[in-house]
Amino acid sequence: MLRAPFVVLSLLVEPQLLHFAPCSQAELVQLLRQRLALLPDPAPVVVDDAALELCARKVAANSGDIRKVLDVCR
C-alpha cells in the first residue's frame, strides 16, 4: 500500500494591527441609509431621519467606529 507524502508547513508571522481612520458624521449617515435601502420594498420607515442624524453625530463625536453606529441602530 502506497502512502501519500506528508508535508508540514509552519509560518512564523508577526501579527500586525490595522488602523482605520474614524468616520465622519456624513459617512456614517450615508452608511446607515445604504443599509436601510437594502430592506425589501415596500419597507416601512424603520428609523426616522432625525434619529439617524443624531446617532451618527454621537458616534462620530465619540469614536467614529462604523461597527458602533450599526450596533446602536440595531
Report the C-alpha gap between 66 and 21 in whole angstroms. 10
The reported pLDDT for the residue numbered 8 is 75
DSSP per residue over 41-60, as a string? SSPP--S-HHHHHHHHHHHH
For residue 60, which of 33, 30, 22 has the smallest C-alpha distance? 22
Per-residue pLDDT tens over the stretch 10-44: 777 777 887 888 999 999 999 998 988 887 876 67
- pTM tops 0.75: no
Which residue ranges make up each domain of the chain?
A: 25-73
* pLDDT over 70 (residue 2): no
Which residue matches cell numbers 468616520? 23
Residue 4 has pLDDT above 70, yes or no: no
